[in-house]
Amino acid sequence: MRRRVGRRDDEIDRELRFHIEMRARELEGAGLSPDKARREAERMFGRQSRVAAVCARAWRHPKGTFMRSLFHDLRDAGRGFVRQPAITTLMCVTLALGIGATTAIYTLVDAVVLRPLPYEASDRLVWLQSRIKGFEARPWGASAAGYFHFRERNETLAGMGAFFVREVNLVDAAGPERVTAASATASLREVLGAALALGRWISPEEDVPNGPAVAVFSHEAWQRRYGGDPDVIGRMVSLDGVSTEVIGVLAEGFDLPLDSADVYRPVRLNPATRAVNAHYLSVIARMKPGVEIEQVQGDLRRLDGQLTERFPNAYPSSFVAGFATQALTLRNRVIGSASRTLWLLLGAMAIVLLTAFINVANLYLVRSEARRRELSIRAALGASRGRIARQSITEGVLLTSVAAAVGLALASAGVKLLVAAEAADIPRLAEVTIRWSSVAFAALLAAVSGIALGLFPLRHARADASALREEGRSTTASRGQQAVRRLLVGGEVALALVLLASALLLVQSFARLRGVAPGFDASGVLTFDLSLSPDRYASHEDVARFYRDLTTRVEALPGVDRAAVSTEVPLVSWRGCSATYVERPAEGQQGRCVGVVNATPGFAEALGLRVAGTLPDWTSHDARRGTVLITRPLAERYWPGENPIGRRVTSYADGPAFYAISGVVEGLRAEGLDGPEVESLIYPVLPMETRNAWPQPRQTSVLVRSTVDPESLIRAIRRELASLDPEVPIGNVMTMEQAVARSMAHVTFAMALIGIVAMLALTLSLIGVYGVVSYLADRRRSEIAIRMALGASPHSVRQLIVGQSVTVIAAGIAIGGALSLATTKALASMLFGVEPRDLPTLGLAMILVSATALVAAWLPATRAARISPIEALRG
């Protein structure tokens, strides 16, 4: 190739030299001296090397000048757009918003729904779950006996694995940490097709009762805790006090479906133990080749029928009557209804994108009105249809490409926000990132819309010379086209109204939620979880002593007002209840399930609770006086209208260890700002007597009220904790203000999402109205000019143009209003303190949308009013 190029350069050189020679000869013939003739010929020729270079360049793009003319087209298109910055920006922003939003949702759909689950042949995996009579609210797992039963006797499954997940204390040279441990069968790896990065998986010999303590780390935990050190294999770590050998590390990206585990250890189920009806195992199985899920279900039904006969004690016929083991495809279990929601969302976005596109097409039409003459002149000058089409398409694609690039950036930011917000109920969210498929999707949108945009004005360039004649201007769009435009604008206005009304409802809910007094003072409070190991803190006294030492040390830190330890934290976790009885002479009573908390002295002070009565201190606590705090609604329920102080209650046992109420907590909303005030009892850590008492509170949260920066405070607390007991892990560090914000996340998220879509729709309707009115006004230029020449005032021209759109906008508002009333019900579960059909909100939304639409109509009308009457002469 180089030689050929070299020869061509050589030939060009010879050719040019020949020319100069010929010229020199001619000059010589005219009487110049040979020397002078030669110099003159060279001068006339110009710089030979430059000409040679230009000649050579002609060959660089064989078969013509495609690249060259493409470059020209791009440059021309770019200049064209720069000449009209306002309209170009408007088109670009519209398309970028449309493409960005659609790409973001597509990315979600792709990662969550389209992409197979990250397991080998994942479409062959099934999830087993149990339906238990009386507990249908949630699906249950399998019991150990059931697992063995199904595993041994099934005829449709090729493999079966089980696991359950729980938090444990991991302690090694690097200190303690609370991690999630999966206790798994040796068979789980094969069923899921998990690969290992290092070492090996749990062997069947290890997964037996009393087998060796071994553990496999997840890749993520291995990186986080050991920085990817391969020497971790063979090392001993402590899991809940059990010395365990690390035998392997799983491949990157592997995690359990629906659960997340840092470390895996053998579950060591014992087939010989007596069957117990405890459904705690998650079971995943692989279907035999050719088997369908219905056959698996039939197989399981058959096996369910054998349970009573095989395990009469654990599965009596009364239990099995309402019991069923169900097989779901793993995909179905993981994705569930999210699939439909996401497709619907994508569909809605596609409609928004389509409206955006039609808007841009309208704007493009307004813009290409101005270019029509140019195109027509070119056509008259002989530019081929193909050539004009190519330039027009280049223009369209240039515009949409820029828009797609901006849109992709928007989508990327949007997806990150979505993932960070942990959007409620979307599974596999951690897997969601912008991938090449998203880029390809955006590029496809850009290409299709770009070509469509480019072809759009061509229809108008067809009537070659008509634009050269002035009557080309007055040909109005057909009635049909106009009707479509009006319908579109009306629809946009209606859509914007529905979305804006929804967004406003959510904004109000958010504001009302923010205004709710939670009953505690979140500012300046830091909270974190800790976990004590059962072997070193066996008794209530051990646990209480540790908490007293810890809070005393923390309170000694500079800036700390108060510290306390509690089993529950308002708005973070306030769950569980215990049967509670009131001391009432001679009256049998049904225990009532009441929320109970165990807390050290200082709990009320650290949280800033409002309490009427006396609060415990460590002296009274350790003296086991048997006092308890009660919340106001519960006190009112038990002793309406009376003073509860001194009354006695007990939980955990039907007396006689009754606790006397020493204080009443006012207005505490611990289960959610949108919920009622809680009915709870706040017990101490140390019970009056150990018999009939609550379990030792080892999984607890610490609350610290201080005036110092949380970052430096937590460092200081870690130091104190390490000097007290280096093996106690802490986690979930956050401020109570963050906890409050997080408790509102579902409303915040919905508000943000719907707010963004509403703004999008409003912007689109603004652009839509603007585009259509501009177009129509432009079409009527000569008419307007004539009116002005005949003495019409600018004001009446404005009215003429705006009036044309008022009916459309009004229709859109009416339809949108009706739609809002019909659809905002769907938001009811997310609303707080405002009715779904709140008329003032709807009215406000109507005013906002109408005002926006009228402004959008006003701008082109004002421009039309500036048309000079002189144009009438040209028309």
Given the complex with other proteins, which of 73 and 529 has the nearer CB atom? 73
Across the chain, how many H-helices and E-strands are there?
28, 21
Q: Going by C-beta distance under 8 Å and a sequence separation of 6 or more, which residues neighbour residue 351?
A: none
Closest distance between other proteins and the C-beta of residue 457, in Å?
17
Closest distance between other proteins and the C-beta of residue 399, in Å?
20
Question: What kind and span of H or E run contains 581?
Answer: strand 578-582
Question: What kind and span of H or E run contains 818?
Answer: helix 794-823
Closest distance between other proteins and the C-beta of residue 26, in Å?
9
Scanning the structure block, which residue is given the tokens 């990315």? 107
Distance of CA 230 to the CA centre of its chain: 35
Per-residue 3-state assignment (H helix, E strand, C coil) for 583-612: CCCCCCCCCEEEEEEEECCCHHHHHCCEEE
What six digits make up the tokens of 507?
């904004």
With contact defined as beta carbons under 8 Å apart, do 234 and 245 qualify? yes
Given the complex with other proteins, which of 59 and 343 has the nearer CB atom? 59
Given the complex with other proteins, which of 50 and 691 has the nearer CB atom? 50
Burial of 516 (0-12, 13-18, 19+ CB in 10 A): middle
The strand pair at 592-598 and 680-683 is best described as parallel
Closest distance between other proteins and the C-beta of residue 453, in Å?
20
Closest distance between other proteins and the C-beta of residue 381, in Å?
6
**Cα gap 553→401, rounded to integer Å:** 62
What six digits make up the tokens of 814?
């009416």
Given the complex with other proteins, which of 49 and 699 has the nearer CB atom? 49
Closest distance between other proteins and the C-beta of residue 789, in Å?
25
Given the complex with other proteins, which of 382 and 791 has the nearer CB atom? 382
**Cα gap 762→815, rounded to integer Å:** 15
Distance of CA 27 to the CA centre of its chain: 81
> Residues for the chain: how many in total?
875
Closest distance between other proteins and the C-beta of residue 504, in Å?
52
Given the complex with other proteins, which of 382 and 515 has the nearer CB atom? 382
Distance of CA 88 to CAs 367, 368, 723, Å? 9, 12, 65
Q: What sign does the CA torsion over 391, 392, 393, 398 have?
A: positive
Closest distance between other proteins and the C-beta of residue 11, in Å?
7
DSSP state string for 490-524: HHHHHHHHHHHHHHHHHHHHHHHHHHS--SS--TT
What six digits make up the tokens of 298?
């039939």
Tell me whether the omega of the peptide bond preceding residue 62 falls within 30 degrees of 0, making it cis.
no
Given the complex with other proteins, which of 76 and 190 has the nearer CB atom? 76
Residue 416: what residue type? K
Given the complex with other proteins, which of 44 and 121 has the nearer CB atom? 44
Q: If you ran DSSP here, which 8-state letter would residue 376 be given?
A: H
Rounded to 5 degrees, what are φ and ψ at 239?
Answer: -115, 110
Given the complex with other proteins, which of 28 and 172 has the nearer CB atom? 28
Closest distance between other proteins and the C-beta of residue 868, in Å?
23
Given the complex with other proteins, which of 380 and 413 has the nearer CB atom? 380
Given the complex with other proteins, which of 60 and 514 has the nearer CB atom? 60
Closest distance between other proteins and the C-beta of residue 42, in Å?
11
Q: Going by C-beta distance under 8 Å and a sequence separation of 6 or more, which residues neighbour residue 635?
A: 644, 661, 664
Closest distance between other proteins and the C-beta of residue 63, in Å?
7
Closest distance between other proteins and the C-beta of residue 810, in Å?
47
Closest distance between other proteins and the C-beta of residue 59, in Å?
5
Closest distance between other proteins and the C-beta of residue 471, in Å?
17
What six digits make up the tokens of 265?
């250890």
Closest distance between other proteins and the C-beta of residue 79, in Å?
11
Within 743-841, strands assigned E span none
**Cα gap 419→100, rounded to integer Å:** 16
Distance of CA 624 to CAs 194, 551, 685, 689, 699, Å? 53, 18, 10, 8, 22
Residue among 866, 863, 857 nearest 772 (CA): 857
- Secondary structure of residue 131 in the 3-state scheme: strand
Closest distance between other proteins and the C-beta of residue 58, in Å?
4
* 674 CB neighbour count, 10 Å cutoff: 18
Closest distance between other proteins and the C-beta of residue 770, in Å?
31
What six digits make up the tokens of 335?
């994705």
Burial of 857 (0-12, 13-18, 19+ CB in 10 A): buried
Residues that bind other proteins (CB under 8 A): 11-12, 14-16, 18-19, 21-23, 25, 44-47, 50-51, 54-59, 61-65, 69, 72, 76, 378, 380-383, 387, 391
With contact defined as beta carbons under 8 Å apart, do 814 and 493 qualify? no
Given the complex with other proteins, which of 397 and 434 has the nearer CB atom? 397
Given the complex with other proteins, which of 76 and 541 has the nearer CB atom? 76
Burial of 118 (0-12, 13-18, 19+ CB in 10 A): middle
Given the complex with other proteins, which of 18 and 343 has the nearer CB atom? 18
Q: Going by C-beta distance under 8 Å and a sequence separation of 6 or more, which residues neighbour residue 601?
A: 564, 615, 616, 617, 618, 620, 621, 684
Given the complex with other proteins, which of 3 and 47 has the nearer CB atom? 47
**Cα gap 263→221, rounded to integer Å:** 8
**Cα gap 192→118, rounded to integer Å:** 9
Given the complex with other proteins, which of 44 and 174 has the nearer CB atom? 44
Given the complex with other proteins, which of 382 and 676 has the nearer CB atom? 382
Given the complex with other proteins, which of 715 and 874 has the nearer CB atom? 874
